[in-house]
Amino acid sequence: MNKLDVTFVHIYLTEGEGRIEGLLQRLHDEEKVQGVTVFRGISGFGKSGKMHSSSLLDMSLDLPLVIEFFDVPQKVNDILEHIRKDIEPGHIVSWPATLVV
């Protein structure tokens, strides 16, 4: 079994921020990371305490989003340096992981 050290990243946003398309395009087209997944939450809140949730009465699309991606540590560090200016402090979490190849 072969293993590769990678760094995993979660970026926390909301749909209403309108940043998802540009960030996904960057990760896919420019950075060419090994894998990206976007999760849409059914509810959540952050530091502000503002609740973001879906209900039948509230059709605004301001749900929480988590962008998850991974790649080799040096590449992830370079990517984070590029995107840090576009993401609020405290909205990026990363940790080392092992990819089984």
Say how far apart CA 29 and CA 78 lie, in whole Å. 15
Does residue 90 sit in helix, strand or coil? coil
The neighbouring-strand residues paired with 71 are: 7
pLDDT of residue 4: 95
Stated pTM of the model: 0.85
The domain locations on the chain are 3-100
pLDDT of residue 63: 84
The neighbouring-strand residues paired with 66 are: 12, 39
The CB density around residue 70, as the number of other CB atoms within 10 Å, is 21
Say how far apart CA 50 and CA 53 lie, in whole Å. 10
The model's pLDDT over 5-57, given as tens digits with 9 standing for 90+, comes to 999 999 999 888 888 999 999 999 999 999 899 998 877 877 777 777 766 55
- b/e string for 2-12 if b means 16 or more Cβ within 10 A? eeeebbbbebb
CATH of region 3-100: 3.30.70.120
The model's pLDDT over 43-65, given as tens digits with 9 standing for 90+, comes to 787 777 777 776 655 555 778 89
